Amino acid sequence: MSTLTDLPVIDFDAPDYRADPMRTLQRLAARYPLGRSKRGIEVFDYDLCRHTILHRAFGTGHPRLMDVLGLPESPALSYKRQSISFHNRGEERRRLRVPLTTLMGPEGSERFRTDIREVVRATLDDLPTDRPVDLIAELCDRIPSRVYCYWVGAPMEDAEFISRASHSVQQVHTRNPETAAEVVRSFADLRDFVDVQIERQRAALSDNLLSDLIRARDAGHLNDQDLRNWVVKLAEANTDNSSHQIAIAVIELASRPEIWAELGRDPALVPKALNEVMRYHPRSLSTSRETLEDVTLDGVDIPKGTAVFPNIGAAHWNPAYFPEPERFDIHRPEKPAHLNFGGGIFSCIGRFAVTIELEEVLGQMARRYPDLRVTRSGFSHSPMFTSVTDLEVVLGG
């Protein structure tokens, strides 16, 4: 049996990881099921990744993240402690999830598709076709923040604020204490914004998501604090993650003209293409867990309270599950599923709605702009995320 000190040390600041994380993770997974880094225990094997994501011995890593970030006592930290991110398995997490899993499950999210389609269409209508387009600013950030405004009944002019706030508060995942002050300020701004939207919507309930959440509160499924925290959470996680995933998808698909043309001819292929994007180059390269008890992984004893990181990127490039993983193939079988959205009680609440956003963006763009060209793009990679730092395109019609 190995010990923690026997595990290989992984340096996520190394040039090979920063330049090509997927192939680096694939090489590591071929040699080591587990490793260790300055943030904790790294899991590379596909089966072990699924195990640590799903098994009851592993809980949320979010409280430890706040300690690493050094978030001071503040309304931001109070919100974090009260939100679902801090709750481990058990009745409280289940109670908080139930109303949202109903409203944003597959059927609940599908009712948003027509309006999301219209948000995408209107945003595309504003794109210039006579010059290169900064697609991050003009599309990737705008779509999810405008969809959020639609969900809460806010004016579309507020989308820029939502986008900016989401990017700021998501800096919690940098694990960099220098970002703490900005995170605190942005959460305070976001909470103030949400309070205004709740009061405005309560005065005239409609058929949007916020009105449904207010009705869930009035029915006793949520309390006032839960209501506010969920509306903040939807903004917190909305723009940043969705924006980068849209950008990754456009780069990977439009940079392959034959695939882009295929999507334009047959929109039914868009969901399969999106699945392959999320496997091949996921936004989430890892997720965080903490051991709730002493556990043993691959013969290694790991004590209670240890930070553990399933490396999704490594799992997605495991040739035993995804033959020729370095080959981008939109016709791959749907099983096994990618791990981008986690799983079980920790699965992403908004995964179905986010998928609809992505499908609508890619489907409409491939049909409308068959000659779209990516003229400039850039990535950065942390241990947690793929981020798109630059994306310029020529729409071509």
Q: What is the pLDDT of residue 153?
A: 95
Which residues are paired to 133 by β-bridges?
Answer: 393
With contact defined as beta carbons under 8 Å apart, do 386 and 282 qualify? Answer: yes
Backbone angles phi, psi at 302, to 5 degrees: -125, 120
Q: What is the pLDDT of residue 52?
A: 95
Series of mean pLDDT values for 10-residue runs along the chain (397 residues): 87 93 94 95 96 93 83 87 84 89 92 96 95 96 96 95 91 85 92 96 94 96 94 86 95 97 96 96 94 95 96 96 96 88 86 95 97 96 94 89
Region of 175 on the Ramachandran plot (φ > 0 left; ψ -120 to 50 alpha; else beta): left
With contact defined as beta carbons under 8 Å apart, do 343 and 337 qualify? Answer: no
Q: Give the amino acid at 58.
A: F
In this prediction the pTM is 0.93
Question: In 210-263, at which residue ranges do the beta strands (DSSP E only) sit?
Answer: none
Give the Å distances, CA to CA, from 223 to 95, 194, 211, 219: 11, 15, 14, 9
Query: Residue 252 maps to which CATH number?
Result: 1.10.630.10
Sign, CA torsion 209/210/213/215: negative
Q: What is the pLDDT of residue 112?
A: 93
Expressed as residue numbers, the domain containing 320 is: 4-394
With contact defined as beta carbons under 8 Å apart, do 297 and 66 qualify? Answer: no
Residue bearing tokens 């940098």 = 174
With contact defined as beta carbons under 8 Å apart, do 116 and 357 qualify? Answer: yes
| Total domains, the chain | 1
Q: Which residues contact 80 (CB under 8 A, 6 or more apart)?
A: 62, 66, 71, 86
